[in-house]
Amino acid sequence: MFDARLRPLIDPPLNAAGRRLAAWGIGADAVTFAGMFAGLAAAAAIANGLYAAGLVLILVNRLLDGLDGAVARATGMSDFGGYLDIVADFVFYVAVPVGFAVAAPGDSFAALLLVAAFALTGTSFLAYATLAAKRGIETAAHGRKSFFYSTGLAEGAETIVCFALMCLMPQHFAPIAAIYTALCLVTVVQRSVMAWRMFR
């Protein structure tokens, strides 16, 4: 919901950092892999009850997720880079709720529902992107990307806030997860309506 509005604020410093990394010979794929491992480390920290460390690693993951695109824009974007970026994102989205479920098995059902909601949100996102590419539809609302980014109620910024709240208040994981699961499902419905209007 807020991602497109935040882009004018975060893109200039990210692009500057991306150009610097590119000048040092660091490739976008390497940054993507580093971000994915930071996300897995965040899940591992959370699984062991180290919620503060988990939060720091979540923020590192999100920073690197922004930097990989900035490096790609500086060096040249590739289809594989776009593929790798989305796979790494969903590794992160799945791993963090699993970490909370391991830390507190009583929260497993809420974590399962959240992972399922992420799966549905991701499916609607990728299906929309596939059909948009087929029709040659493009958008720059989320910056220059390898494929079409459709908007929705639950996007990257909202996910960061959700995971941060979970780390700060792990005892309230279940209600936070339930609220965000509902937002994800609303996003799926919202995107499906957009697809019906655009592609029917």
Residues 6 or more apart whose CB falls under 8 angstroms from that of 88 comprise: 32, 33, 35, 36, 39, 65
Half-sphere exposure of 31 (CA within 13 A, CB side): 29
Q: For the whole model, what pTM was predicted?
A: 0.84
Q: Note the pLDDT tens digit of each residue in 59-74.
A: 999 999 989 888 988 8
CATH 1.20.120.1760 fits 3-199, yes or no: yes
- Contact, 80 vs 72, CB < 8 A? no
Question: How far apart, in whole angstroms, are the C-alpha atoms of residue 89 and residue 94?
Answer: 9
Q: What is the pLDDT of residue 128?
A: 85
Give yes or no for residue 23 having a pLDDT over 80.
Answer: yes
Q: Which residue ranges make up each domain of the chain?
A: 3-199
Q: Note the pLDDT tens digit of each residue in 64-118.
A: 998 988 898 888 888 888 899 999 999 999 999 999 999 999 999 999 999 999 9
Q: Which two tokens stand for residue 101?
A: 């479920």
